[in-house]
Structure 1
């Protein structure tokens, strides 16, 4: 079973849900009315945090699950937890100013890459044997 990976998946979804709520709160605080997508830097940063998280979920989640299935649930979950930490660091940094988003972005990108390479390697190894 893949209980740890399931837990990390649920935590990642919770984080994304939080970024969505943050966009709504930012709309109210900055007065940016829907459907506008710009108008205040604080809102624009909140929106980009949510969208960037969404943009990475289709890379992260399949890689996480394929790594868990073909290699290790515990290691997938640990790397997935690093991804979540990276997204939180990204959220905090980018919320302050756009120039501070880099460290969190790098952490989550490296975690995603590790999961993808690990999954690809495990699948390729199984195909070869």
Structure 2
């Protein structure tokens, strides 16, 4: 069973849900009516946090699960938690100013790279070595 990875998956989904609710609140706060996604820089930064999270989820989730299956549930969960922390740092920084998004982006990108390359390496190793 992959209890730790499942927990991190749900935490990632909750984080994404949270970023979505922030967009809804920001629409009201900054007066950005649907279907607009531009017109107020503060709103646009909140919106980009949500969209960038969505853009990374298709890379993160399969890598997380394949890492758990081929390497370690606990290890996948640990690196996955680092990814979530990176997304939180990204959200806080980007909400303040565009240049402040970089540390969080680097943290989450590094975590995702570890998961992706770790899973890929383990899969290839098993194919080659039976």
Q: Please classify the TM superposition score into its range, dividing by the shorter chain length.
A: over 0.9
* Residue of structure 1 equivalent to 2:3: 3
* Residue of structure 2 equivalent to 1:70: 70
List runs of 5+ in structure 1 lacking aligned partners: none
CA distance in 2, matches of 1:44, 1:51: 10
CA distance in 1, matches of 2:55, 2:71: 25
CA distance in 2, matches of 1:37, 1:91: 18
CA distance in 1, matches of 2:23, 2:10: 20
* Residue of structure 1 equivalent to 2:80: 80
Corresponding position: 1:29 with 2:29: yes
Query: After the TM superposition, which parts of structure 1 deviate over 6 Å for at least 4 consecutive aligned residues?
Result: none
CA distance in 1, matches of 2:49, 2:34: 17
CA distance in 1, matches of 2:94, 2:111: 19
CA distance in 2, matches of 1:42, 1:12: 24
What TM-score, normalized to structure 2? 0.98
Q: Over aligned residues, Cα RMSD in angstroms?
A: 0.4
CA distance in 2, matches of 1:96, 1:120: 36
CA distance in 2, matches of 1:36, 1:81: 33
Give the deviation of 1:97 after TM superposition: 0.6
Helix, strand or coil for the counterpart of 2:39?
Answer: coil
List runs of 5+ in structure 2 lacking aligned partners: none
Count how many residue pairs are aligned between Structure 1 and Structure 2: 129
* Residue of structure 1 equivalent to 2:109: 109
Give the deviation of 1:128 after TM superposition: 1.0
What TM-score, normalized to structure 1? 0.99
